[in-house]
Structure 1
Amino acid sequence: MWSMPRVLLASLLLGIGLSVQAANTQVPSSQPCGPYRVAFYEYGAMYFRGEQGQGEGVDKELVDELARRTGCRFITSVVSRVATWVHLARGTADITVSAVRTPQRELHAEFAIYLRGQPSVYVRSELAGTVDSLQTFVTRGPWKLAISKGYSYGPQMDAIIADLRQQGRVGEYGDANAVARVIGSGKADAFIASNLAWSPIFKAHKLEGRVAVLPGSPEMTIEAGLAFSRERVRPADIALMTQTVAEMRADGRLKQILGRHGSPEVVKKAMLP
């Protein structure tokens, strides 16, 4: 009987063993991106209901473009602003939008930043002559500040809000429209707003000409974007979507989306450097 030389036989067996090992350790085929549950919330130009009840706004257009470019599948819902982080914590949402990045939130979520906000403190016009600065507002009167629940305005302003809250001078409301209503009715005296998101809110509640920017407001530069649950969104998908958002900023698509909802000056301030 023909016999294979021992050296050749050993080489073949070694090759077969390496092939089997390689097959067992082969990188699995790419998994589909999603479906992921995206929680929107109504916030002025960022997300609002159109005439037919359909979702519109910066965040809606951005998520639609993200799906088109990446092929990721999204299941969307609309919740209250304060509930977005509750849903992420409970596992009933995987991603949310226009999320302000804070150290505490970064413990549970990764961020793909696409906006820079610079909110201002506003007072009712009839108080503008008396309340001439934020310091005057904080130290000299009983005036009340209205804010949206679950929002961070940066360390300095958050500390001022905490101090006013201890004095019983902060009213917290479910969303920006509720804040606008209490300002319009005179039940609160000041509020915090960014031009991009609040532009349609000023118009809808007829606040133009009835409120004024309060001098001496602290620098409130806020970065916001998509927030991904670290537990439920695959790292590869986070990387894919984060890279795609960066490409949208670089190729002008994000600026185009913003330009449909804000003036050139507002868009310039909202774009990241």
Structure 2
Amino acid sequence: MKLIALVFLILGLHSIPALAAEFNSGCGSIQLAYYELGALYYHHADGSYAGIDKDVVEEVSKRSGCKFETVLESRVRIWAQLKNNTLDMSVSGIPTPEREKFAEFIPYFSTRNYVLLHRDMPAHGLSMAGFLADANLKVGIIKSFKHGPQFDEWVDKLWGQKRVHEASDFDSLLRLFLAKRVDAIMVLPTVWEPLLKKEDINKQIQLLDWAPQDSIVHGLIISRERISKTRRDLMKKAIYSMADDGTLEQIFSRHVGNKLAREMRYEGPRY
């Protein structure tokens, strides 16, 4: 009996480092939802996925010890689930006072929207004010998306005139635009950069910078209710270290090139 007890004691002592390592990681498994949008998250012809958000999440996992169980969802469903405390986490979200009540945001890039117009847009529609003044022109947006202070104010005015069409995702929005059911859509560089490489689309559109002063911060979105502050802090530390050692910019460069990658660097406050 003493021999058996000694064997169990030795086995137990050998298991302590493994248990300690698991305890020290302090993170465990987290449910994370992606959404498809340009270079942020996209699929190849063989069905496999790639993108900035995928690379960021995988690196956060390595540095934090968090294990992510990922699903693909629409942006509308993601926000609804986060608000209802039925989802742990998502990616590249824009903080608002309402959203910050139920989620913490960890910034990892900053950018702004541009406007995409048809090549044959009349000259008076080539400015924000001119577009607004023409009651026949309509804009398309993705439901639940924020576009930056200047664009959001402009869209609110168009809503008041019933000149806004909503789509559930970017592919649906682009179809509305190419079919000329709407005259303008807003797009991030992470969307228009791969889009402009498609010659059949490029020759139909023009890209204008209507809000050069806007800066839209995007971050990991983490449920305050479902994920403890300790676990959120582990991911925050991972993101900050990725920014400091250049890993984030390297990830951006892989998908949108060096110039846009530099412009996407987040240099705002850390919380």
- Asked if 2 retains the 8 angstrom alpha-carbon contact of 1:147 and 1:173, the reply is yes
How far residue 219 of structure 1 moved from its aligned partner, in angstroms, is: 3.1
Question: Where does residue 181 of structure 2 map in the other structure?
Answer: 187
Distance in 1 separating the partners of 2:124 and 2:181? 17
Distance in 1 separating the partners of 2:259 and 2:212? 21
Unmatched runs of 5 consecutive residues or more in structure 2: 1-22
Once the two structures are aligned, what percentage of the paired residues are identical?
A: 31
Against the structure 1 CA distance between its residues 31 and 71, is the aligned structure 2 distance closer, same or farther, given a 3 Å change threshold?
A: closer
How far residue 204 of structure 1 moved from its aligned partner, in angstroms, is: 5.2
- Asked if 2 retains the 8 angstrom alpha-carbon contact of 1:37 and 1:92, the reply is no
Question: Where does residue 163 of structure 1 map in the other structure?
Answer: 157
Question: Where does residue 74 of structure 1 map in the other structure?
Answer: 68
In the alignment, residue 126 of structure 1 is paired with which amino acid?
D
Distance in 2 separating the partners of 1:80 and 1:204? 24
Distance in 2 separating the partners of 1:204 and 1:172? 24
Q: Secondary structure at the match of 1:260?
A: helix
Distance in 2 separating the partners of 1:90 and 1:54? 30
How far residue 31 of structure 1 moved from its aligned partner, in angstroms, is: 6.5
Against the structure 1 CA distance between its residues 30 and 255, is the aligned structure 2 distance closer, same or farther, given a 3 Å change threshold?
A: same
- Asked if 2 retains the 8 angstrom alpha-carbon contact of 1:45 and 1:58, the reply is yes
- Asked if 1 retains the 8 angstrom alpha-carbon contact of 2:75 and 2:144, the reply is yes
Against the structure 1 CA distance between its residues 93 and 205, is the aligned structure 2 distance closer, same or farther, given a 3 Å change threshold?
A: farther
1:77-92 matched pairs, under 5 angstroms = 77-92=71-86
1:37-186 matched pairs, under 5 angstroms = 37-186=31-180
Question: Where does residue 10 of structure 2 map in the other structure?
Answer: none
Q: Deviations over 1:244-270 (max 9, x none)?
A: 101101111111111111122211111
Q: Secondary structure at the match of 1:84?
A: helix
Distance in 2 separating the partners of 1:193 and 1:150? 14
Distance in 2 separating the partners of 1:116 and 1:55? 23
Greater Cα shift, 194-203 or 110-119: 194-203
In the alignment, residue 49 of structure 1 is paired with which amino acid?
H
Question: Where does residue 242 of structure 1 map in the other structure?
Answer: 236
Distance in 2 separating the partners of 1:195 and 1:205? 17
Please tell me the root mean square deviation across aligned C-alpha atoms, in Å: 1.8
Distance in 2 separating the partners of 1:201 and 1:177? 11
Unmatched runs of 5 consecutive residues or more in structure 1: 1-28
> Paired residues, what number?
245
Greater Cα shift, 170-179 or 153-162: 153-162
Larger radius of gyration: 1
